[in-house]
Amino acid sequence: MTAHPAPQPTARSVTGTGRRPWSTPLAVVLVLVGVFATGAGLGRAAGPFDWVDAAAGPTQRADESARAPATASRPVSLAVPAIKVTAPITPVGQAKDGSVDVPPLSQHNQTGWYDRGPVPGEPGRAIIVGHVDTKSGPAVFYHLRELKPGDRIEVTRADHSVVTFTVDTVEHFDKANLPADRVYGDDGPPGLRLITCGGEWLGGRAGYADNIIAFASLAGTRET
C-alpha cells in the first residue's frame, strides 16, 4: 500500500449526493471513505487500514506490503442493471496526500477501482468508488442508494471474464461509524463494495455527512 509499515489511505469522505442543489461547489478531489479520526500526533486522519492492521506487527505488515501485485486481470467495466449503470472502470491508487485517488470530476461517469486492494472476484473485498453528483447534475452512483438485496452487479475484466456479484445490503454510515473491518481487507471470500456518499450536506471539505455502501457477494464468473 515500503520496507517499513505501508502507507495507508487517509480517511476522507466520498463527495456529493444529489440532495443539494448542483450549483453548490464540490471538492475538486473525491477521496474514499468517511471517517475523520485524528491520528495520535501524526498530523493526518487515521485511515481504516490503520485499524484493520492494528493487530499485525510491523514485520507482518512489511511482508504484506512487499507482495507482488494481483495476477488476476484488472476490471474494465461495471454494469448495475437495477439502477441503469454501465460505466468504465479506471484503476485508482493512492494520492500524494495519502488518500485514495479517484477519476477526476470531468469524468464523473467513470468509476474507480482501488488497485492496491483485491481484484473483483479474487479473495477479499474489492472496492469501486464513484461520484454521486457534480455542479451540473447526477453522476455515476447517483442512484446507488436505491439498490436492493438480490440486485446484480457485473464486473467485466480485461481478459473478458465477467464476475457477477449479488447485493447483500445497502447501508448508510455516519463518517464517525464506518465499519472498516467490513469494508476493507484482502482475505476471506470474494466480495465487492460500491461506495459513494449521502446524507446531509455539510459544506466545505467535509462534503456530505454519510457514506452509502453497497455490500455484495460473489455469485459466479463466466467467460464472454
pLDDT digits (tens, 9 = 90+) for 86-101: 999 999 887 676 556 7
Residue 40 pLDDT > 50: no
Residue 131 pLDDT > 60: yes
pLDDT tens, residue by residue, 181-193: 999 899 999 999 9
Q: Say how far apart CA 134 and CA 142 lie, in whole Å.
A: 10
Q: What is the per-residue pLDDT for 217?
A: 98
Q: What is the DSSP track for 56-86?
A: S-HHHHHHHHTPPPP-SPPEEEEEEGGGTEE
Q: Say how far apart CA 93 and CA 113 lie, in whole Å.
A: 8
Q: What are phi and psi for residue 186, nearest 5 degrees? A: -110, 25
Residue 211 pLDDT > 60: yes
Residue 38 pLDDT > 80: no
Q: Say how far apart CA 120 and CA 75 lie, in whole Å.
A: 7
Residue 107 pLDDT > 80: yes
167 in Cβ contact with 214 (< 8 Å): yes
Q: Which three cell numbers stand for residue 28?
A: 475538486
Among 3.20.20.70, 3.40.50.2000, 3.40.225.10, 2.40.260.10, what is the CATH number of 48-223?
Answer: 2.40.260.10
Sign of dihedral through CA atoms 192, 122, 104, 66?
A: positive
Q: Say how far apart CA 215 and CA 178 lie, in whole Å.
A: 13
Residue 51, H or E segment: helix 48-52
Greater confidence, 95 or 39?
95
Residue 52 pLDDT > 60: no
Average pLDDT taken over every residue of the chain: 73
Please name the residue that has the C-alpha cell 487515521: 46
Q: What percent of the chain has pLDDT over 90?
A: 43
**Stated pTM of the model:** 0.73
Per-domain boundaries in the chain? 48-223
Q: What is the per-residue pLDDT for 210?
A: 86
